[in-house]
Amino acid sequence: MSQLMQTPLQKRLNSIPWSDFQTCLGSAGEMGGKLERLASTDPVTALAASRELWCDLVSGGIGPPPVAVLALPFVLDVLSQAGEELAIELLELVWRCIHFDRPDETATFQELRRMVMAQRPRLLEYATGPNQEIAEWAKDILADIGEQATSATAALTVDRAPGAPRSEIKEEAAGRGTFAEGSTRWPVHAPRNKDQL
């Protein structure tokens, strides 16, 4: 695609040398395309991209790779416009990016937390919103960034310790690292239950 035909999103994505980085699964060369699909107005396309990004950014079990610092701003941009189903998936992705409570916090981890902390006002809105699952994920994220404040519009105290289990957990993973066509289940190497971390 010529420079003149590119959308602003494509220009931003194409300005990053993705192939210079690694994901949890290998080369990040396809990251730009996945992030572009995440921003799709087609919900099926966006959800499929969110699941690919989940595997790329947080399925390794050792914390997100450095490329997550480049990808997360795009994820947060999409989150601000996402419908409920996609918002739930993206909030879990964000939570997993910052939920590595280790004494040897890496520069990657610290930068991801800084980005998420900048989203505090939006997270407070989610945490007091009508969708219970969105609210629970937002509260988990706020707890992990040490948020104990209340919002201006509704009282919110995050009273769970970081990483405390939620009362409702989505169904367990199935499969083997890939998604069967039409499947909404997660790969086995990517547990959805926080108690399994």
Q: What pLDDT is recorded for position 121?
A: 93
Instruction: Report the alpha-carbon distance of residue 46 to residue 36 in Å, rounded.
Output: 9
Class of domain 3-157: mainly alpha
Q: How far is CA 99 from CA 22, 66, 140, in A?
A: 20, 15, 9
Q: What pLDDT is recorded for position 147?
A: 66
Structure-token pair, residue 61: 């079990």
Q: What pLDDT is recorded for position 3?
A: 53
First-to-last C-alpha distance (Å) of the chain: 42
SS3 per-residue string spanning the chain: CCHHHCCHHHHHHHCCCHHHCECCCCECCCHHHHHHHHCCCCHHHHHHHHHHHHHHHHCCCCCCCCHHHHHHHHHHHHHCCCCHHHHHHHHHHHHHHHCCCCCCCCHHHHHHHHHHHCCHHHHHHHHCCCCHHHHHHHHHHHHHCCCCCCCCCCCCCCCCCCCCCCCCCCCCCCCCCCCCCCCCCCCCCCCCCHHHC
Instruction: Report the alpha-carbon distance of residue 158 to residue 13 in Å, rounded.
Output: 35
- Show the low-confidence residues of the chain (pLDDT under 50): 1-2, 148-197
Q: What pLDDT is recorded for position 188?
A: 31
Q: Is this model's pTM higher than 0.75 or not?
A: no
Instruction: Report the alpha-carbon distance of residue 55 to residue 89 in Å, rounded.
Output: 12
